[in-house]
Chain A
Amino acid sequence: MAESGTTNPADGLGLPLDHGACRLSALSCGPAWLVAPFPGQEGACGAALAPLGLDFPAPGQVLAEKGARIVWAGRAQALLFDADPPGALTRHAAVTDQADGWARLMLQGADAQTVLARLVPLDLHAGAFPPGRAARTLLGHHPLLLIRDTENAFEIMTYRSMAGSAVHELQEAMRSVAARAALS
């Protein structure tokens, strides 16, 4: 059974934060398993995930079924959320519990895309990065797994040890965007 981390890495960071048309809040660290297929075993991993209604995701893909979700997380890597990995999966992939290794934040609101555009070197327009897609990229200098839930809601995942500085960077960007909007 999954034992989730006992404390949220965003505890004590003053979340939720509101600046302008944007809110930054912490998400709980539910069960999260890193699935890293052995060389050439992505297809077998997909078959092993079929009982959950999932498959092994292609780059940038997010698959969800009955509360369980699997998100592409890098070359030959995916993160399985809110489900226990099927036993057969461990024959085709290294599976590790990483629930306590990540900080999960949510940035939502009409200005969310504008705020992220100050920190993330990606084209974040909905045409290039639509809802239901994921990307590995950078948040300032932090490694980032970015998932777009809806047009105005982004899930931000970075390593647990970097939660404090990630929140600081996001807060600065939120304040700057709000200040710019207040001028006009």
Chain B
Amino acid sequence: MRISCPCCGLRDRREFTYLGHETFLYRPAADAGPEAWDDYLHNRDNPAGETRDLWYHDPCGTWVLVTRDTVTHAVTASRAVAEGQRA
């Protein structure tokens, strides 16, 4: 499996560390109810098909939002998380 790093281009999977679903980008407000925090911390889908998750490219220090397919293992898109925040 290879993942495209927005800085470095296509790199081997062993250069990356997996965090989890992109849910981690959408932290609830501090006063949000317990249901919102439960969803944020614990509740995840387990899709057969397209999913978007967060990977860290260890060598260059980029957080990457990767769109991939859990059935075919195809990686269809990736972008730097920091770019999304700046836009």
Question: What separation, in Å, do the CA atoms of A143 and B58 have in the docked complex?
Answer: 8
Tell me the chain B residues, 36-84 only, with Cβ under 8 Å from chain A. Answer: 58-62, 80, 82
In the complex, the answer to whether A74 meets B60 with C-beta atoms within 8 Å is yes
A121 on interface, CB distance cutoff 8 Å = yes
In the complex, the answer to whether A40 meets B59 with C-beta atoms within 8 Å is no
Question: What separation, in Å, do the CA atoms of A122 and B15 have in the docked complex?
Answer: 10
In the complex, the answer to whether A138 meets B60 with C-beta atoms within 8 Å is no
1/0 per position for A124-164, CB-CB distance to B under 8 A?
Answer: 00000000000111100001100000000000000000000
A94 to chain B, nearest CB (A): 14
Which residues of the other chain, A, contact B8 by a CB distance below 8 angstroms?
Answer: 59-60, 135-137
Which residues of the other chain, A, contact B58 by a CB distance below 8 angstroms?
Answer: 138, 143
Instruction: Describe B's contact surface by its main secondary structure.
Output: mixed
Most B Cβ at <10 Å: residue of A39, A74, A121, A136: A136
Question: What separation, in Å, do the CA atoms of A130 and B11 have in the docked complex?
Answer: 17
Cβ 8 A contact of A143, one of B59, B62, B80? B59
- Residue count of chain A within 8 Å CB distance of chain B: 15
Closest to B59 in A: A136
In the complex, the answer to whether B15 meets A75 with C-beta atoms within 8 Å is no
A77 on interface, CB distance cutoff 8 Å = yes
Which residues of the other chain, A, contact B25 by a CB distance below 8 angstroms?
Answer: none
Give B contacts to A, CB under 8 Å.
7-8, 11-12, 14-15, 58-62, 80, 82, 86
What are 11 A-B contacts with C-beta separation under 8 Å? A40-B86, A59-B8, A74-B7, A121-B12, A122-B11, A135-B59, A136-B8, A136-B60, A137-B8, A138-B58, A138-B59
Give A contacts to B, CB under 8 Å.
39-40, 59-60, 74-75, 77, 121-122, 135-138, 143-144
